[in-house]
Every structure is written in C-alpha cells, then in structure tokens.
Amino acid sequence: MACYLLVDPLGDYAERQKNFLDRLGLDAVAIFSSRVRQAKWQHKWRHRLGAHVIGEFLVEDDVATVAQQIVDAHGADGFFGVVPWDEMHVVLAAELSDRLRLDWNSKDVLLRFRDKYRMKAWLREMSEVRVNKSRVVTSAAEALEFQQKVDRWPLVVKPTTAAGAVGVSFAHGPEQLLRYCQQVMESGLGEVLLEEFIGGREFAVNGLVDRNGDFLATDVWAYDKRASHGIPNLYYQSIKISTGGLFHSLASYAADVVQTLGLRRSPVHMEVKVDDRGPCLIEVGARMAGGDQPVLASKLHGRSLFELAVCHYLDELPLSPEEVSYARYDLLEARIVSGIQSAIVPEVHVLHGYEEVRQLPSFEDFGFFWPPGTSVPVTRDLNTKSYEVYLMHEDALQVEHDARVVRAVLRYE
C-alpha cells in the first residue's frame, strides 16, 4: 500500500499536518534528521502522532544508505510524496525525493532557500527582481571592503543558514561590524553574511506555490519591530494587511521571487521591506511562517492552511483563489502580540493577567506562554519571546485597544 514520508514529526505544525492525513487514513514512514529529534519522538510525540506510522528511519550523514533501507523495507514504488514542515530540514526532504523519485523539489532548488547568499545571488543573475547587496565574508578585510562598497551604515550581519531572526545584528561602525562577524563565526549557524540595510516598512508575505510554480498569497502581515534592552529589532506585534493595492503589490513581487527560484508544491514565507523604491526581498523560506502566523491566518480564512499545504505537498494540484476566503479574511482585523522579556525569570509561579486577557472582546487564543515551573529567558529573537497572543475582531479599534491591554497586564512572577 502506498504511503508518504514525514520528516521530523515533532511539534504543533507537524501535528496539524499529521492529524489531517490520519483522518484520510494514510500511512506514513517517519524520517528523523538526528538522534535528538528521534528521542523526542520516542519520549513524547509517538504516543500522540504514532497512529498510521508504519516505519521509522534515522538519517545522520548518509542519505543514500537510508533511502536504500527505506526501499528495502517498503518497496521502490511505495511512496507518493514527502511532507516536511520546518526550514531546517527541507533540503533533507528534497534529497529523499530525488533518491526515491518522488518528483518534489530537487535538492538544488531547496539549497537556494537554505543559503541566504546563494538565494540572492541566484535572483540577481536570473531576474530583475530587486534584492539588496550582500556578500559572504571570511576576514576583517573583506568585511570592511564590503562596507566601503555599500558606503553607508548600518550593515546587517547574519548567519547564512539560520532562521527566526537568530544571530541577526545591525552594525553602525567598524568596531561593531567586526565584533558581530566574530559572533556569527563562533555561532555554528553558517557563514558570515553581510547585507545592505533597507529602510522602510517590513512585511511578511505568506502563501503556497503549486505544481506550475504559480504563487497564491494567503496572508500578509506588517511587522512592528522595536528596540529593547540593547536589541534593535525585536518582534513587538504583527498586524494583518487586508487585500488591496499593497497586498497585491507584495503578492506580485513574491510571485516573481518564487518563480525565479524554481520552487513548486510548497508553502512560502517571505519577508520584504518596502521603501520609496518599492519592495525588496529580505529573506524567503520554503516553509510555513513561524510565530504561528498560519494558525491565525487559517482562522481568518476559515480554512486550515496546514491542510491546504499538505494537499500540495502530496499531489500535483493547481492552486485557485477559491481555495481560501478573501472575503472572510478582509472582514476581520487581526494582530499577533509578542511579549518582550528584558530580564530572566528563573522560575515562573504565575502569569498575571492571564484571565483578564482571555476576557478581552478580540481575544482569540494564546499562541504561547511559559508555564509555571519553567524559566523565562531574555527575549533575543522569535524563539525567546515571552508570550504570544492572537487578537481577531471586526472592529479595528477594539483590536488596537485590546493589544494595549495585553501589553499592560501580562506579567510573569
């Protein structure tokens, strides 16, 4: 019986995909990218997601050997697709697809998405899509030479393969530039990538691309990032952008980017700056957005975007605007409020304001908070936010008011 490959089935996103496929009665073979992830599966997630899993395989270094083991156990024609969920392992999914002839994206295509420099270099060579100047550097001399070429500050310093704003810094002078480069070199998150800073407003453009490379924008968010405790670009809130001129302009730009990069049958999360020259790509991932944006976007459309993504992972389907509800999306205002913690809370005893927030007229859900007994870290990126609250309501003023209340009353002790 044919089945599908599921890469690292851990966490909420994977659970949403797996539950949908379980309802269809489809069997899965689970692929684990590391012993750590396999152990998490065995100790926690197997009892929640283990139904319909008929095989488990660990990939450490040699994908070819594991691919052969999968064929030996389940047959050469036993699979009809592969379902990844996080950015860190889409290349593994692509390599398995290549070796098992599953006709998903090739490894070469996904490598463009995983390496931020390679991605922008490809766009510069193959299209007229606007991207900022960038360079991978290996020495202080190269870093200073690139800054002289750009001829302005700040300069963005980041790892080539990280995600979620991890390791991103903004250098305002030579001393900072070299210090931040050293930090990236020591982080183990990739090579040191320097980029020209683009001003203006920052947006997230999310959607899906089908078998033909056609892109459907499902939701667009304006990022409100603010400085706190010495970090200049922390997520403060994300505000939904309704369809209209800006939405369609960003969707058209994103479609050009995706088509040039050659992606098919995948969700897309793109971050774009818009200044007086128009859109300019910051980053793009062949995955669903982080920060639970697709959870709230699914509620805005009245349709699970996780389920829609799975349908395109596993089938050669064309995309249509009728698959989502832009009328419902435009009817509702939405906001994601992200908590910023400036000092460590060694052990949580209580989250003050929890019940008050739940009673707000626009309250939709808690995306995340640190439960009692855990330690709250200092917020440095998306992975260390102190909480996340979803607000959704027909009245924009109500959402604005409730966002201020969330910020005022939520506090760990």
Q: Would you kindly state where each structural domain of the chain is located, as residue ranges?
A: 3-104, 133-196, 198-329, 332-413
pLDDT digits (tens, 9 = 90+) for 46-104: 999 999 999 999 998 789 999 999 999 998 787 889 999 888 889 999 999 999 999 99
Q: Given this model, what pLDDT does residue 235 score? A: 92
279 vs 232 pLDDT, higher one: 279
Does 268 have pLDDT greater than 90? yes
Asked if 184 and 162 touch (Cβ cutoff 8 Å), the reply is no
Q: Given this model, what pLDDT does residue 157 score? A: 93
pLDDT digits (tens, 9 = 90+) for 274-328: 999 999 999 999 999 987 899 999 999 999 999 999 999 999 889 999 999 999 9
Q: Given this model, what pLDDT does residue 163 score? A: 66
Does 1 have pLDDT greater than 70? no
Give me the CATH code for the 3-104 domain, please: 3.40.50.20
pLDDT digits (tens, 9 = 90+) for 16-38: 999 999 999 999 999 999 999 99
**Is CATH 3.30.470.20 the classification given to domain 198-329?**
yes
Calculate mean pLDDT across residues 222-239: 93
Calculate mean pLDDT across residues 392-413: 97
What is the C-alpha separation between 217 and 209, in angstroms, rounded? 9
What is the chain's mean pLDDT, rounded?
Answer: 93
pLDDT digits (tens, 9 = 90+) for 170-189: 999 999 999 999 999 888 88
Q: Given this model, what pLDDT does residue 211 score? A: 94
Q: Which fold has domain 133-196?
A: Dna Ligase; domain 1 (3.30.1490)
Q: Given this model, what pLDDT does residue 396 score? A: 95
Q: Which fold has domain 332-413?
A: Glycinamide Ribonucleotide Synthetase; Chain A, domain 4 (3.90.600)
Q: Given this model, what pLDDT does residue 381 score? A: 85
> What percentage of the chain exceeds 90 in pLDDT?
85
